Amino acid sequence: MELTTRVHSIAGLLPAGCGLIARRPFRSPHHGVSGPGLVGGGSPPRPGEVSLAHHGVLFLDELPEYPRTVLESLRQPLEDGHLSIVRAGGRLRFPARCCLVAAMNPCPCGFLGHPTRRCTCGSDEIHRYRAKISGPLLDRIDIHLEVPAQRPDALQDGDGGEPSPVLRQRVCAARERMQARQGRANALLDPRGLRQHVHAAPEALRLLGQAVDELGLSARAHDRILKVARTIADLEARDAVGLDDVSEAIGYRVLDRPG
């Protein structure tokens, strides 16, 4: 967390008397944030939210409310894990290896697919709203999930799922497996590392090939699906990546579908 501490120190956000930041940062900038405020820059250059979230979480609520140019500026740091700023005096590099979490409504009124409320949006309106998030940005987001509204009785009867402490143990064990296998998290594998360390069953690769063709996915999305599938298998302590893992990972790309 040393780099995280240094970024917070440069931004003047380190509390007095604080040594090393021990908790992973959680940053949730408002959609009024500027481009330099989100990714860094300005004069003198300062780290942006994506760097303040280094080794932590950057949460963007109501994603389509952010100006498109501001969102597009996230592409380079999300891809590279750092932000490069070129100035007359040389090149500056701020770390930006964060977990991006973003939320959006299914439509402008928010009720599309709701079990009891009626959506009042026209199809053009829904299309325009979703088009605010560009394909290349979506490409860089590994998991797109729909979270449908729950009926109150389902909320009350629900068993709550796997408790957080148990889940935490599984996540830690999965990360240890990744370190032992390849010395880094699955998300950080480059294309060569992916070929070397992620071996999926032939039928799983066939399914992935079909999905890429039918959904018109990019090479980047193809690799990201494989990494998510590898992670699903790691969470269950399995060495092999099977058909079910790849099928589940493809199911997490709902926004890629023509809609």
Considering only 1, 63, 85, 109, the residue that binds Zn ion (CB under 5 A) is 109
**Contact between 119 and Zn ion (CB under 5 A)?**
yes
Measured from the CB of residue 64, what is the shortest distance to Zn ion in angstroms?
A: 13
Query: 258: Cβ–Cβ under 8 A, 6 or more apart, which residues?
Result: 215, 216
- State whether the Cα torsion 102-107-110-114 is positive or negative: negative
Q: Which stretch binds Zn ion (CB under 5 A): 20-28, 108-116, 236-244, 248-256?
A: 108-116
Measured from the CB of residue 113, what is the shortest distance to Zn ion in angstroms?
A: 9
Indicate the pairing of strand 40-41 with strand 57-60.
Answer: unpaired
Measured from the CB of residue 50, what is the shortest distance to Zn ion in angstroms?
A: 30
Q: Which stretch binds Zn ion (CB under 5 A): 21-29, 119-127, 152-160, 201-209?
A: 119-127
Query: 65: Cβ–Cβ under 8 A, 6 or more apart, which residues?
Result: 31
By CB under 5 A, what part of segment 238-257 binds Zn ion? none
Instruction: Say if residue 83 is exposed, middle or buried (CB neighbours under 10 Å; 0-12, 13-18, 19+).
Output: buried
Of residues 131 and 219, the one with the C-beta less far from Zn ion: 131
Query: Dihedral angle at the C-alpha atoms of 222, 210, 112, 60, nearest 10 degrees?
Result: 0
Of residues 92 and 109, the one with the C-beta less far from Zn ion: 109
Calpha distance 213→207 (Å, rounded): 10
**Contact between 121 and Zn ion (CB under 5 A)?**
yes
Measured from the CB of residue 108, what is the shortest distance to Zn ion in angstroms?
A: 6
Of residues 127 and 195, the one with the C-beta less far from Zn ion: 127
Considering only 1, 63, 112, 138, the residue that binds Zn ion (CB under 5 A) is 112
Considering only 38, 96, 102, 107, the residue that binds Zn ion (CB under 5 A) is 107
Calpha distance 218→207 (Å, rounded): 15
Q: Which stretch binds Zn ion (CB under 5 A): 53-61, 70-78, 121-129, 181-189?
A: 121-129
Q: Comparing C-alpha atoms, which of 137, 67, 167, 58 is closest to residue 102?
A: 58
Calpha distance 187→192 (Å, rounded): 13
Measured from the CB of residue 121, what is the shortest distance to Zn ion in angstroms?
A: 3
Total residues in contact with Zn ion, by rule CB under 5 A? 5
CA distances to 87, 104, 111 from 61, in Å: 32, 7, 17
Q: Which stretch binds Zn ion (CB under 5 A): 50-58, 62-70, 106-114, 159-167?
A: 106-114
CA angle, 91 then 95 then 100, to 5°: 135
Calpha distance 35→73 (Å, rounded): 7
Of residues 1 and 119, the one with the C-beta less far from Zn ion: 119
Measured from the CB of residue 104, what is the shortest distance to Zn ion in angstroms?
A: 12
Q: Which residues bind Zn ion (CB under 5 A)?
A: 107, 109, 112, 119, 121
